[in-house]
Amino acid sequence: MSPAAASPDDRIRSYEDFARVHAYLLAASGIPTSLHQRLYRKLADEVFDGGEAFSVEPCEGGRQRRLVLGAERTLGRESDVFLVDHAWSFRLSDALNQLREVPGLAERMAALMCVDLDRRTELEEADEQDNGNGGSLENALEVVEKERTRIQEKGSDFAPWLELEELGIDDDMLIALDLSSKFPNMVALNLWGNKLQDPEKIMKGIGECRRLKALWLNENPALKKGVDKVILDGLPELEVYNSHFTRKAGEWALGFCGDIIGADNPCSSAESIPLENIVYPQTTRASDPKEADIIWVSMQVDSELKNALGLTDQQYTNQFPFEACLVMKHHLAETIHKAWGSPEWLQPTYNLETHLSPLIGDYCVRKRDGMDNLWIMKPWNMARTIDTTVTGDLSAIIRLMETGPKICQKYIESPALFQGRKFDLRYIVFVRSICPLEIFLSDVFWVRLANNQYTLEKTSFFEYETHFTVMNYIGRMNHMNTPEFVKEFEKEHQVKWLEIHGRIRDMIRVFESAAAVHPEMQNPFSRTIYGVDVMLDNKFNPKILEVTCCPDCTWACKCDTQALVGSQGVIKVKGSEFFDTVFGCLFLDELKDVSPL
């Protein structure tokens, strides 16, 4: 994204601006530098000239298409760059719903891809009923009401992200939709490709959406009538406007760019824990980092940061050297493989950058033998299930490699369920030392529940709330206190939780793997906590999902609970004292609410 502001003078006006702002993108794309200026000019003038040089023709009896050079002139190597207007931009998880709900989209895509639609679709029937009028108020109201129902199901605290792209909405229709009263907490609104013209009427339609953080009016006639200043003056909290940053851009906009914030998790701000819950009562807070004995941060403390802040190697930090061998998913699997081979508590895992061939072999053998063949793709270093995909299609697995480095892990197709829903468990491990290994397990753990009933229907693989369990970033969370969960789980499955907990304790020997394979992690001035995420299969055997640095402990700080698995029996634990326990164990050798491993 390039910065944009209320004043037109702040936009990219020259090739030099373009080359400076997009330097990293240009380098990553591999476009020769000799073509950068030509690319800038075509982008600035919106010259979509791919069709002038190339054409697409059917082949193999119309079942395939191929790209054919159609230019009369000779094209030399790296002599030109061409632009093609997009047909459909989407997130993979949203594709199925968009094909079902956006009028005409499925038909357009079918025509592009030589797919015959040999039956009348619901969309065709709906189009006929509307007499071909795709821009009717009724159509737009139907989309809005569907979205309103979906948001109501997620709960009153959910911040809406509304997609109204290419619905033929004009100024009067926008006012009639009454978005401000229907979605008072709306944080993002996409009106791309409609028929909006009058800046004043647009503001009348959305001006009361005071919490709006992102707005897209791209490809609307109003852009030619000075709507930008009206919008930016009238919506002071806007951080993203027409795919650009505004002057107000901050944490929300950065989260959007990093794919942390989106339609599935449109939270308008990151929740923080009050400082008094983080600092042990016997300590004092230093205003200058140079004066602190302990540096506890959520960013990487590298040599550059140390030099910038004047930190020394004799100050404690909450991170270990080379901890990537645990917290990056491909390194975690590699560390475990080197130490333990292929233990039952680690699903078959392949680094797609280095082990694609073995994965394909495993996939083909499983297919030949009629075994389940569902896999989950995870980015090396993303949390909150960002860019994570469940699929049983080998072609999709290979294609998804293009979206960034990933591991491919055998999906747990038969997990233990709680009242028909998936769940996982978050444990907190305290690490004082790597060599010798000094680790402790918090007596407090918590459960994270999926919202929907578990199913292996193919259409469900795109449903976040069916196959994933981290719900505290998408608005609707079915929270359950740990003692209640354990009691109900034991009753439902006729098992003893302490037996399951014993298996989980044994599995957390993953830290022994790190100590054995990477002794260089040891640093006497490193002490920290890690989150260990665990899932149970249908035989109640634990499977490690990932290890997380700087784990989100908001729930642990807010909720009073009971420690069910420690050595002192069932005792009450105050959430406000959670980080007292952390600092007491790591720095004062206390063992309150923790168990040595």
Residue 279 or 42, more confident: 42
pLDDT score for 281 = 62
130: in domain = no
Packed helices 510-517 and 329-340: angle between N→C axes, nearest 10 degrees: 80
What dihedral do alpha carbons 173, 175, 178, 180 form, nearest 10°?
130
Find the CATH number of the domain harbouring 511: 3.30.470.20
Reported as a pLDDT band with limits 50, 70 and 90, residue 523 is: very high
CB-based burial, 147-157: b 16+ in 10 Å, e otherwise:
bbeebeebeee
HEC string of 386-430 equals CCCEEECCHHHHHHHHHHCCEEEEECCCCECCECCECEEEEEEEE
pTM of the model: 0.64
Q: How many domains does the chain have?
A: 4
181: in domain = yes
SS3 533: strand
Same domain as 555, residue 467: yes
pLDDT tens-digit profile of 308-327? 788 899 999 999 999 999 99
CB-based burial, 14-33: b 16+ in 10 Å, e otherwise:
eeeebbeebeeebeeeeeee
Contacts of 95 (CB under 8 A, 6+ apart): 462
State which of 360, 378, 411 marks the end of a domain.
411
Q: What does the DSSP 8-state code read for residue 453? A: P
pLDDT score for 485 = 92
What is the distance between the alpha carbons of residues 30 and 7, in angstroms, rounded to a whole number?
A: 32
What is the distance between the alpha carbons of residues 185 and 187, in angstroms, rounded to a whole number?
A: 6
pLDDT score for 465 = 79
Pick the closest to residue 346 from 354, 356, 338 (CA basis). Answer: 338
Instruction: Write out the residue range of the structural domain in which residue 241 sits.
Output: 138-258
Measured CA to CA in angstroms, residue 104 lies from 43, 123, 125, 128, 134 at distances of 28, 7, 11, 12, 9
The fraction of the chain above a pLDDT of 90, given in percent, is 37
Find the CATH number of the domain harbouring 394: 3.30.1490
Q: What does the DSSP 8-state code read for residue 291? A: G
Q: Which of 17-31, 121-135, 292-306, 497-511 has the highest mean pLDDT?
A: 497-511
State which of 258, 292, 316 marks the end of a domain.
258
Q: Which of left, alpha, beta for 104 (phi over 0: left; psi -120 to 50: alpha)?
A: left
Same domain as 436, residue 383: no
Pick the closest to residue 348 from 409, 422, 411 (CA basis). Answer: 409
pLDDT tens-digit profile of 208-237? 888 899 999 988 999 888 888 899 989 988
Same domain as 385, residue 437: no
Same domain as 221, residue 309: no
In this structure, how many other beta carbons lie within 10 angstroms of the beta carbon of residue 453?
12
Same domain as 582, residue 531: yes
Are the CB atoms for 215 and 179 separated by under 8 Å?
no
Same domain as 439, residue 385: no
Average pLDDT, the chain: 82
Contacts of 320 (CB under 8 A, 6+ apart): 431, 434, 521, 522, 523, 526, 528
Average pLDDT over residues 475-483: 71
Same domain as 402, residue 294: no
Same domain as 428, residue 550: yes
Contacts of 550 (CB under 8 A, 6+ apart): 298, 318
99: in domain = no
The least confident of 376-380, 502-506, 556-560 is: 556-560
Same domain as 195, residue 163: yes
Same domain as 429, residue 301: yes
State which of 411, 441, 462 marks the end of a domain.
411
Same domain as 558, residue 432: yes
Average pLDDT over residues 12-20: 87
Token digits of residue 224: 């030619």
What is the distance between the alpha carbons of residues 119 and 451, in angstroms, rounded to a whole number?
A: 34
218: in domain = yes
What is the distance between the alpha carbons of residues 359 and 349, in angstroms, rounded to a whole number?
A: 8
What is the distance between the alpha carbons of residues 424 and 139, in angstroms, rounded to a whole number?
A: 40
125: in domain = no
129: in domain = no
Same domain as 399, residue 285: no
pLDDT score for 134 = 47
pLDDT tens-digit profile of 247-300? 888 778 777 765 567 666 666 444 444 455 555 666 777 778 888 898 888 777
Pick the closest to residue 508 from 487, 483, 484, 529 (CA basis). Answer: 529
Find the CATH number of the domain harbouring 242: 3.80.10.10
7: in domain = no
507: in domain = yes
